[in-house]
Structure 1
């Protein structure tokens, strides 16, 4: 018998978003379910692997439905198989069959017969002009399928018969090209003309491979000086076109295109792929030495279109288009300028300052596109550059309207998985700001910012933000690919985890061994394991974790803690630090570093335990206890005072559980002092880069929910809501990136699109709405909403590896109403006032008496308190 109450929604292999062109010969399978059957658990799965007429079938009695072993013999290159899957539930009924196709790419290097080819050698001390490469081939009259395998040293955009192939942007993305080069696989069956001669080609730009990277003047040619294309088109497995000596190259209508500076486009130059003019013989280049792999991460692609909201004239007479939302991506032109000659200049910025475009935060990034008029520009969008912007200043188009342009939000994240909403409109805007900053900083890799002369993969940023990222989006393939680069770079640097990945050949960046930043090697894989349930991510990264602790951490030879001979970033961007000195905060940076060291040593011991490495687990646990003793000797007095009397210091010790096990009252002393500091600072954020993501959780964990909510809802700067009240549509690098008088913060580091401080969204999901994983991969779920402040309702949902999980609550007439949605094959623990129970899958409603927190709102009790208090601060 079969059931309609449960169905298989989605099958997936490994962490690939697309199953076309995978690099795994024995990919593990996972499946997501949908349906509202109560207490449904999987007891068996039956899988068929169909190769033509060959059908293999196997049944496995297990509840496992994520990352199950490949059920057949290994796949070969180019092999396409059909998977059919059926599940049996605890009710004894079977689901309907679900089909899924997998096709491998070119798994072996020997599968590549193409050569790497390029154009003429260009100057190494400046930008390289993009160019086109092309060839032709005769297509057979009858065939089943056509595949294009393609990659480049540089950024490519492929075409067949003048039609763009696929929708991916900025391919192959930014990896450390010394070790790994991604290739794309495209189904071009419908693009080739049967029985005719076809044209295949690609645009090629410098991109990350040889373009300018990093701060100020940056560095060029990090990975090489010669741009090259590697392409192989196969029809029914036979190569009919591949890059080689029969290809030719030509410059086209893109005069210049740099990632940070912008693109120059000449509309007067033809873009005809079949023209016979100005095409030259290609130059052979050495075949790539790095590993050729298909990316588990999705390619950069358009996620959303943003229409222009208004057009204004500045005091200096400039025309500025406002899109109403700060984002990262591209501009696309929909109209045609009335003037048909001259030059159209487009300058981009995130903010306006005193009525003019605020470009100073861009530093050395020009962020300017130029279009030579004379031909059609309708439909134009840049190929090899991106911008972070809300505002666009236009010169040379006097009659532009809001309908003439559109913004394209781009990202490498494949799909949105997490949502949040509540009764407080400013918190909703804050959460939306987090989402847009997430998208802006996931263009090929996790970056710090998308607009200025930086856009680098700072390890510390993703270390604090990963739990939020993992909830909001399907990030498993994205982070797995990035972590591979981290480990490869680490091995080349004698165990040091560079503070940016991919690393750049800048000594103070490569060999700056930094706690919290380098600790991403251990913490981020664990966070990914918790969200995905994939033990292999721990197994793959465990050598990196050990290498970090054994060789990367530069230690004091006596204590084993961090040496004081090298500086630490510490609680970076503490709001009390001066704008010009963002590292001069309230907390001793070595206390921060050593707190992380104890915590991460414990974490690596836990990873070893999960992997079954019991001896290693014991070794790391013993080391963590020794380090904890040394930590207390260095930073804690006999009376339980800390050398840094700051919110971040106490939050780190409490959140990382660094209390002395021999002093049972120490935790209470620490939490009491933290409370005093929070009240002393009027519930404003007084923590920096590492303290801010944990401060609210620490307060709640230690019985101070009322203080957590007052800090969350504070409006005075520094606070999460102060930028929102100033009109922020993304998360700022500083709480005061924009000052109240409309001036940009004078500091040199002033970005209006940084996701790190947006890690507070994880608190919104797990505490305010009450939805979080209790075991890896959301197999068991915690439903524990903790209402506070003046909120009357909240809800969060997450598309987990098993299916949709959701928690929503509302308070009415002194009753708390909670609805929990638990996906099939999962269970949940429900913790509510007077309720603590385990439930299975399905929709569950709860109704319990609600008593408002008598401590709300917390107030300062001082006989001579003269600070004016905003009575409206708590309102939504």
Structure 2
């Protein structure tokens, strides 16, 4: 039935079309997963780079690093702070090992490498990192409004300083309780939005560092800021709670200046600042923003402003500095812009704009009209069956921005401290229909580099991939939210762990998840339990659900495997261990059959399926599977970190966990007490069954799928592993049947219904055009997009054979109805690509791998043993082979 799998070892570099001259170069220098980071607080920052060469079979044999405080001196090899030369092929996460780093200091570094062909690169162009401020380094004071902070309007703060020297370098350090925008001399500082971001504020409050050298001038300089409620003080969670973290917005900012004569000065918030309210009358994450342009204070951001009658001295509050941490995650930035695609009148007569894409961000409008004209923008993801604007699924979230014109010409508006999830907007207040050119949607999400691409000959799969990536963009807004539109937008742990592998392929999520996992650890309860959402705004009782709390082990291991990051594995290890120990404490006789669990959330629930075959999986069976999985990951982490005693202890525990599962949930012949797809998927994925009974369990899984007419029935916990299990046990054809299924429930059903993101429910919109339960029906919910991981690893065949893709496995598995697949992935070492095509009875495969790595090719099992052609050139292997029938 199957022929031999070919294994061809690849060991070569990628040819670069721009690579001429120097035979070996280094590129993409990073410090702690970032290029030129401004806020590095670790004592030993880790340095990474990639090789660039057109010479095949290139491996780094040694590297040199040099570090200094002066860029020109460093390039001249003078005043070197630290220099090292090491014989090694390691090019990622090399820890700095020089003298202790000083706070508030910029360090420049360069690297050069030598390869196995005796080529030595030139020194790289100098890159830098800048250290943050320690608690004792803060001279600025927290400032607030002088009266209790009960007014919804956004307070503004300002002060003008005189500078009589030439500025050599200046850095602003800024934080807030609430959200802030900061200005110097009328210029908005930085291009990040919704700063300082959302963290577990009681324990970790971020500050941002921004180079402001070019913003300061000799003479008078005005520092200013505006504050919004944000997650800190605004409405958050399900119960209409406000001020969860605090009831007073506050600003903290200081600017460190170094002058050309070597002297230094610090400007910072203190009791001499002034405050007033302005045009932002209200701003809320869920409800949107109200902006009255008539209340703008003209020129208040500039030193020439003199209309200070309404300004009052600030109040200084001692909030301390001990919980301040420097931001090391990518900021939320403006990304793609979508011009209005269509303006139309609905059957109800409402003016609605379609942008053609469900996205997260806001709408910028240009408007004209008499002073006092009120323009209201409401946001929605879908139109109803009749074509009317639909907002019921937003629950209590207004998602509405209101702008009041002041009569000036061509006023441009956008929110400051809110964001919306939408494809459609409803416009109210226009006397005439606006121009399309005056309305633009702007996508906002954390600034993560795109790393993966995936394309096939099947247009619906290409749209599915589009939907997966836009689900990620819309929900990776500083925290991995579950939905970006209704009154929720929380960091649900189950969604994040289910989607992690797919996320790490599509985008560089190293810094993003490093930050968020620190909050997972910070919000972990004393008993080791992990909350349902992080940051935890639900409460201490909402914690400990299987498949949700296992984020504590799943993502740290995923970060290690995807990026080779032992640092996060080490940092999170106590949290991983505490979570497994919590489960153990709740598991008499090694059975985790206590506590609340979400189970296989939003599994397929057919109305008439009451025969015992329904997709309801025993929640404690699921819990036992994830107990084993987290224990297994803890064992693997202990092995990597060299914690031998822990490895041995938890290996014994894992044996007992699986024995308990088999005794409680499995018959002697391998049948499970829940005969659902999810039950068999989890039992097989996590090796819960004796090896001799696994194949028959896979057959039962396939039988179940066939009885549902080649449809899946899995929910949030079963879906990510479903196709992986089928492929592992020889049923890739069934995986393809599921993937290409176009009727509900399936991945392509929403695509056929016009989706541009992943839906929360398999049938968010039903075949008859009606909607699922409006209380929980998001059209931008990434969890089911976890199928991407299978598509990348098995359709395209790109897999890590060793952590960080130092060793790569290329194993494409073509399927019926697909004639070509092409995929690329930017790994920590560079780009790997795999593309194949079936044409004229021949299978062609093209592979490229980056320098300093090796790869093994596994040809599809239905390829004849005679390979027609193998050629090497331009950094790729071209393979052509006949396709034989099975």
Which residue number corresponds to residue 392 of structure 1?
425
CA separation of 1:669/1:315 partners in 2, compared to 1, >3 Å: closer, same or farther? same
Contact preservation (8 Å) 2:371, 2:404: no
* CA distance in structure 2 between the aligned counterparts of 1:430 and 1:120, rounded to whole angstroms: 53
SS for the counterpart of 2:49 is strand
Contact preservation (8 Å) 2:167, 2:216: no
SS for the counterpart of 2:436 is coil
Which residue number corresponds to residue 864 of structure 1?
none
Contact preservation (8 Å) 1:232, 1:239: no
Q: Where in structure 2 are the equivalents of 1:407-806 lying within 5 Å?
A: 407-490=441-524, 492-509=525-542, 512-551=543-582, 555-557=586-588, 559-564=589-594, 566-576=595-605, 585-661=615-691, 664=692, 666-806=693-833
* CA distance in structure 2 between the aligned counterparts of 1:839 and 1:70, rounded to whole angstroms: 42
Which residue number corresponds to residue 234 of structure 2?
211
Which residue number corresponds to residue 251 of structure 2?
229
Which residue number corresponds to residue 43 of structure 1?
61
Which residue number corresponds to residue 243 of structure 1?
269
Which residue number corresponds to residue 197 of structure 1?
220
Q: After TM superposition, give the deviation of residue 71 of structure 1 in Å.
A: 4.0
Which residue number corresponds to residue 220 of structure 1?
242
Q: Where in structure 2 are the equivalents of 1:783-862 lying within 5 Å?
A: 783-833=810-860, 834=865, 843-851=875-883, 854=886
Q: Which runs of 5+ in 1 are unaligned?
A: 855-876
CA separation of 1:212/1:656 partners in 2, compared to 1, >3 Å: closer, same or farther? same
Q: After TM superposition, give the deviation of residue 556 of structure 1 in Å.
A: 3.3
Which residue number corresponds to residue 343 of structure 1?
374
Which residue number corresponds to residue 91 of structure 1?
117
Q: After TM superposition, give the deviation of residue 76 of structure 1 in Å.
A: 0.5
Q: After TM superposition, give the deviation of residue 137 of structure 1 in Å.
A: 0.9
* CA distance in structure 2 between the aligned counterparts of 1:841 and 1:10, rounded to whole angstroms: 24
Alignment match of 2:312 (pick from 280, 298, 302): 280
Q: After TM superposition, give the deviation of residue 741 of structure 1 in Å.
A: 2.4
* CA distance in structure 2 between the aligned counterparts of 1:747 and 1:310, rounded to whole angstroms: 26
Which residue number corresponds to residue 323 of structure 1?
355
SS for the counterpart of 1:620 is helix
SS for the counterpart of 2:875 is strand
Q: After TM superposition, give the deviation of residue 695 of structure 1 in Å.
A: 0.6
* CA distance in structure 2 between the aligned counterparts of 1:174 and 1:530, rounded to whole angstroms: 27
CA separation of 1:21/1:243 partners in 2, compared to 1, >3 Å: closer, same or farther? same
TM-score by length of 1: 0.93
CA deviations 1:837-874 (Å, max 9, x no partner) are: 999997232324242665xxxxxxxxxxxxxxxxxxxx
Contact preservation (8 Å) 2:36, 2:127: no
* CA distance in structure 2 between the aligned counterparts of 1:838 and 1:176, rounded to whole angstroms: 55
CA deviations 1:629-650 (Å, max 9, x no partner) are: 0000110001211101111111
Contact preservation (8 Å) 1:34, 1:804: no
* CA distance in structure 2 between the aligned counterparts of 1:389 and 1:344, rounded to whole angstroms: 18
CA separation of 1:835/1:243 partners in 2, compared to 1, >3 Å: closer, same or farther? farther
Q: After TM superposition, give the deviation of residue 341 of structure 1 in Å.
A: 3.7
Q: Which runs of 5+ in 2 are unaligned?
A: 1-19, 74-78
Contact preservation (8 Å) 1:828, 1:839: no
Q: Does 1:160 align with 2:193?
A: no
Contact preservation (8 Å) 1:723, 1:732: yes
Higher mean displacement: 7-16 or 284-293: 284-293
CA separation of 1:852/1:719 partners in 2, compared to 1, >3 Å: closer, same or farther? farther
* CA distance in structure 2 between the aligned counterparts of 1:822 and 1:259, rounded to whole angstroms: 44
SS for the counterpart of 1:738 is coil
* CA distance in structure 2 between the aligned counterparts of 1:372 and 1:771, rounded to whole angstroms: 53
* CA distance in structure 1 between the aligned counterparts of 2:816 and 2:795, rounded to whole angstroms: 10
CA deviations 1:472-521 (Å, max 9, x no partner) are: 1111111011111111111x442110010000153542xx3111101000
Contact preservation (8 Å) 1:109, 1:292: yes
TM-score by length of 2: 0.91
Q: After TM superposition, give the deviation of residue 747 of structure 1 in Å.
A: 4.7
SS for the counterpart of 1:679 is helix
CA separation of 1:324/1:763 partners in 2, compared to 1, >3 Å: closer, same or farther? same
Which residue number corresponds to residue 25 of structure 1?
43
Contact preservation (8 Å) 2:342, 2:353: yes
Alignment match of 2:404 (pick from 339, 351, 372): 372
Which residue number corresponds to residue 78 of structure 1?
104
* CA distance in structure 2 between the aligned counterparts of 1:781 and 1:701, rounded to whole angstroms: 18
Alignment match of 2:325 (pick from 285, 293, 312): 293
Contact preservation (8 Å) 1:823, 1:842: no
Contact preservation (8 Å) 1:256, 1:264: yes
Q: After TM superposition, give the deviation of residue 554 of structure 1 in Å.
A: 5.5
* CA distance in structure 1 between the aligned counterparts of 2:788 and 2:226, rounded to whole angstroms: 40
* CA distance in structure 1 between the aligned counterparts of 2:715 and 2:735, rounded to whole angstroms: 16
* CA distance in structure 2 between the aligned counterparts of 1:596 and 1:84, rounded to whole angstroms: 45
Which residue number corresponds to residue 163 of structure 2?
139
CA separation of 1:842/1:597 partners in 2, compared to 1, >3 Å: closer, same or farther? farther
* CA distance in structure 1 between the aligned counterparts of 2:142 and 2:480, rounded to whole angstroms: 29
Q: After TM superposition, give the deviation of residue 749 of structure 1 in Å.
A: 0.9
Higher mean displacement: 11-20 or 40-49: 11-20
Q: After TM superposition, give the deviation of residue 599 of structure 1 in Å.
A: 1.6
Q: After TM superposition, give the deviation of residue 620 of structure 1 in Å.
A: 0.7
* CA distance in structure 1 between the aligned counterparts of 2:38 and 2:407, rounded to whole angstroms: 38
Q: After TM superposition, give the deviation of residue 742 of structure 1 in Å.
A: 2.2
Q: After TM superposition, give the deviation of residue 256 of structure 1 in Å.
A: 0.4
Contact preservation (8 Å) 1:14, 1:27: yes
SS for the counterpart of 2:727 is helix
* CA distance in structure 1 between the aligned counterparts of 2:215 and 2:487, rounded to whole angstroms: 39
* CA distance in structure 2 between the aligned counterparts of 1:817 and 1:130, rounded to whole angstroms: 61
SS for the counterpart of 2:402 is strand
Contact preservation (8 Å) 2:871, 2:877: no
